[in-house]
Amino acid sequence: MRAIGYLTEYGSKAPADSLAAQNDAFLRYCDTNGYQPVAAFLDPRPADPSGDRPPSPARASPARASAARPGLRQLLDYLAAPDKGFISVIIASFACLGPDRPEAARTYFQIVGSGAKVLSIAEGPIDDPRLLEIWATKDDAAEIGDRVRRAMRRRAVKGQVLGRPPYGYRVGADRRLEIVDEEAALVRVIFDLYLTEGLGIRLIAKRLNQEGYRTRRDGNWSMVTIRDLLRNRVYVGTYTRFGVKVPGNHPAIVSEADHRAVQQRMDQRRRPAAKAQPGRFLLSGLVYCGEGGPRMIGVTRRQQWTRRDGEVASNTYRYYQSEARTNQSVGEYHTRRAADLEAEVLGHLTSAASGESGNGGGARPAMLSAGDAGAVAAETAVAESRVRSRMRSLDRRLSDALTAAAAGRQTPERLREVVAELSLDYQYSTDELLTLDQRAAAQASEGERRRHRERQLHRVCSEWDGLSFEQRQALLRDIVERVIVDTDAVRTVLRV
């Protein structure tokens, strides 16, 4: 049997846990148990931005550490190879899978999702049940502070609200939920649209947005917002927090029977969980719909049909599509085939490298330049803060899902669905954070930035065919601010 070592300093507490010691332990484990070692991938702890000393786990940013894991990326690329065969990934301990518990769990799911087994020298073979055992034995209270956790749990037991109230409610004088009549009426409409009129969550979001309804934050309704609202038992009067459920805690907005009927219908409509195989798109995170519009995301569709002669045919389509159109059913339906859009952007960059300008003839220019350096720096800081907040939210959702599964409150099948969804969102956020890091690093003097851009544009012309996908994507993110897709044109905006 073949084995790969994944060696990291995330779980290190002593010199004996060094990468060299882990490699020796990996080789001994293979020799003792009859495995053939074929490779080892390393992820040292990221350096402290304020100096050369590696940060402690408490000081290291999980989002930053997650974004700086070249060894993990190389490992996953190796496991994605079609001819790799059956293989096991050997680690020193579960803690070595990531800089914090949610990241370690996410790394586990990425590895097993690639068809490999995970073997821990400290804990033994790790499968889903064993992962939940490891998760349950950890002291969550210690991670967020014993006193704060106990105080919040006491309030939850009493049904007193922690955090923002859900849509349809406000926090009353006794910290219990009170109904907001106008919002509660819309909650009932949403349940009625799903249960009585038979609309799906996408069509419900479309209906609400078309009729001018807004969320509490004055935003559009999305599929995720509608789905979470329909799933939430708060609307039958049950308050849930930190694993504590308090039935009859506050006035209900919908009946128990209607809520149960909605859950049954959603379960019936839910497709079986498929193994997550996210397609890689060269312009991921760079494409936007129209001037200042929403982001466009890469979409892969596989279609199958039967020809007249009875033969079954199939094809795969890859394209970029408006994210708002996908999730909220609003906005223009701008879409471009991935290969065509990527080729057009590459043509823009080649023209820029040769000194050609725009489209000429009074047409909208194909090449634009981003704003001044100060504005770009401020925008980068805001964007990075937003991405970090999103990644922390994903960590909390993963922790909640694993805790619920460990306590038997969530099925293994549902856990897999949640993990697949969160893993894609986290990978996208990680890629976006890397892009922002590259942008910040490139913000030197204007002259140096321009010289750097010229060098990178020259690389597009001279080295493109010899670059890997990752190198091409990094090169594009270094010189392209955004790609704007209008109804009749595509514009590429270069970084300053």
Q: What is the pLDDT of residue 390?
A: 83
β-partners of residue 170 are: 178
Could you give the count of Cα atoms lying within 13 Å of 88 in the half-sphere of its Cβ?
21
In residues, how long is the chain? 496
In which band, very low, low, confident or very high, does the pLDDT at 57 lie, cut at 50, 70 and 90?
A: very low
Query: Domain ranges in the chain?
Result: 2-138, 145-269, 287-494
Considering the four listed CATH numbers 3.40.50.1390, 3.40.47.10, 3.90.105.10, 3.40.50.2300, the one that applies to the domain covering 2-138 is: 3.40.50.1390
Residue 338: closest CA among 301, 293, 368, 370: 301
CB 347 within 8 A of CB 470: no
Does 252 or 141 have the greater pLDDT score?
252
* Distance, CA of 141 to CA of 144 (rounded, Å): 6
Does 173 or 466 have the greater pLDDT score?
466
* Distance, CA of 85 to CA of 1 (rounded, Å): 10
Q: What is the pLDDT of residue 375?
A: 60
Lowest mean pLDDT among 11-25, 86-100, 471-485: 11-25
Distances (CA, A) of 163 to 92, 171, 187: 38, 10, 20
| DSSP-derived secondary structure for 265-303 | HHHHHSPPP----PPP-TTTTTEEESTT--BEEEEEEEE
Q: What is the pLDDT of residue 373?
A: 56
Q: With pLDDT > 70 as the criterion, what percentage of the chain qualifies?
A: 76
**379-437 residue pLDDT tens:** 777 778 888 888 888 888 888 888 888 888 888 888 888 888 887 777 777 777 777 77
Does 110 or 54 have the greater pLDDT score?
110
* Distance, CA of 345 to CA of 435 (rounded, Å): 18
Does 90 or 272 have the greater pLDDT score?
90
Q: What is the pLDDT of residue 226?
A: 92
Q: What is the pLDDT of residue 155?
A: 66
Q: What is the pLDDT of residue 71?
A: 86
Distances (CA, A) of 65 to 312, 357, 396: 47, 40, 17
In which band, very low, low, confident or very high, does the pLDDT at 443 lie, cut at 50, 70 and 90?
A: low
Q: What is the pLDDT of residue 235?
A: 95
pLDDT higher than threshold 60 for residue 67: no
**118-140 residue pLDDT tens:** 999 888 899 888 888 888 875 44
pLDDT higher than threshold 60 for residue 478: yes
pLDDT higher than threshold 90 for residue 255: yes
Does 364 or 235 have the greater pLDDT score?
235
The mean per-residue pLDDT over the stretch 195-209 comes to 90
Q: What is the pLDDT of residue 61?
A: 46
In which band, very low, low, confident or very high, does the pLDDT at 104 lie, cut at 50, 70 and 90?
A: confident
* Distance, CA of 85 to CA of 79 (rounded, Å): 9
In which band, very low, low, confident or very high, does the pLDDT at 44 lie, cut at 50, 70 and 90?
A: confident
- 3-state helix, strand and coil shares in percent for the chain, rounded to the nearest 5: 50, 15, 35
Residue-averaged pLDDT of the chain: 79
DSSP alpha helix (H) spans, 93-245? 101-113, 128-137, 140-144, 146-157, 181-195, 201-210, 223-231
Q: What is the pLDDT of residue 48?
A: 46
pLDDT higher than threshold 50 for residue 184: yes
**316-359 residue pLDDT tens:** 888 888 876 555 555 555 688 888 999 999 999 988 888 765 54
Does 327 or 360 have the greater pLDDT score?
327
Q: What is the pLDDT of residue 446?
A: 62
Domains 2-138 and 145-269 equal at CATH topology level:
no
CB 206 within 8 A of CB 330: yes
Determine if residue 368 is left, alpha or beta; phi over 0 gives left, psi from -120 to 50 gives alpha, anything else beta.
Answer: beta
**215-229 residue pLDDT tens:** 988 888 888 889 989
Q: What is the pLDDT of residue 332?
A: 54
Q: What is the pLDDT of residue 412?
A: 83
Domain spanning 145-269 has what CATH number? 3.90.1750.20
Q: Helix 469-479 vs helix 446-463: angle between axes, to the nearest 10 degrees?
A: 150
In which band, very low, low, confident or very high, does the pLDDT at 360 lie, cut at 50, 70 and 90?
A: very low
Coil, strand or helix at 242:
coil
* Distance, CA of 101 to CA of 490 (rounded, Å): 43
The mean per-residue pLDDT over the stretch 160-171 comes to 83
CB 319 within 8 A of CB 335: yes
The two tokens of residue 42 are 């390393």
Within a 10 A sphere around the Cβ of 221, how many other Cβ atoms? 24
